[in-house]
Amino acid sequence: MPFTAYDSETCSIARTLALVGDRWSLLVLRDVANGVRRFDELADHLGVARNVLSERLRRLTAAGLLDRVPYQDEGARARHEYRLSGPGRELAVLLVAFLTWGDRHLAGPQGPPAVIRHADCGAPVHVTLRCEDGHDLGPRPRLRLEPGPGSRPRA
């Protein structure tokens, strides 16, 4: 019998999904990670309604994924732009996982429209699973979910 004694409140997958699992948040993060940092740029590039973008930026900032930092162009008023915080940058692996899977299974005949590279050396980047015993798990890993420290009985 599988371990199912976790609920949708505490499961980390569910929680993360609740935070960034809507239609726009991850795309906002993708763009910010990619250097698109200002409100109008984001609105234009994503094609998202402005009120929605506004709400997302607020939520992601409140959740600590984005930092709202002031900047000043010469002669212009001070404004803000958005940057990934530390935790936000840690979501990169998630974005790469999405990208990789989509590249393999949903790309058009020409191949994917974008590739991701290591900024330091320029080589393409891959996401891999590896266990603490040093095994590489490959693309179709054999996994087991087990009770963790915060496990609690289900009603």
Partner DNA sequence: CAGTATCCCAAGCGATACTG
Partner DNA sequence: CAGTATCGCTTGGGATACTG
What residues make contact with DNA under the rule CB under 7 A?
22-24, 38-41, 47-52, 54, 57-58, 68, 79-82
Site for its own copies in 19-78 (CB under 8 A): 19, 21-23, 26-27, 30-31, 33-36, 45-47, 64
Question: Closest approach of Cβ 10 to its own copies, in Å?
Answer: 4
Which range in 14-22, 51-59, 67-75 contacts its own copies by CB under 8 A?
14-22
Length of the chain: 155
Among 14, 43, 59, 80, binds its own copies (CB under 8 A): 14
Binding residue count for its own copies, defined by CB under 8 A: 94
Contact 28, 47 (CB under 8 A): no
d(CA 150, CA 10): 9
Binding its own copies by CB under 8 A: which of 55, 71, 79, 128? 128
Least spacing, CB of residue 88 vs its own copies, in Å: 9
Comparing CA positions, the residue from 8, 16, 4, 2 lying closest to residue 90 is 16
Strand 66-72 relative to strand 78-84: parallel, antiparallel, unpaired?
antiparallel
Asked if residues 57 and 50 have their Cβ atoms less than 8 Å apart, the reply is no
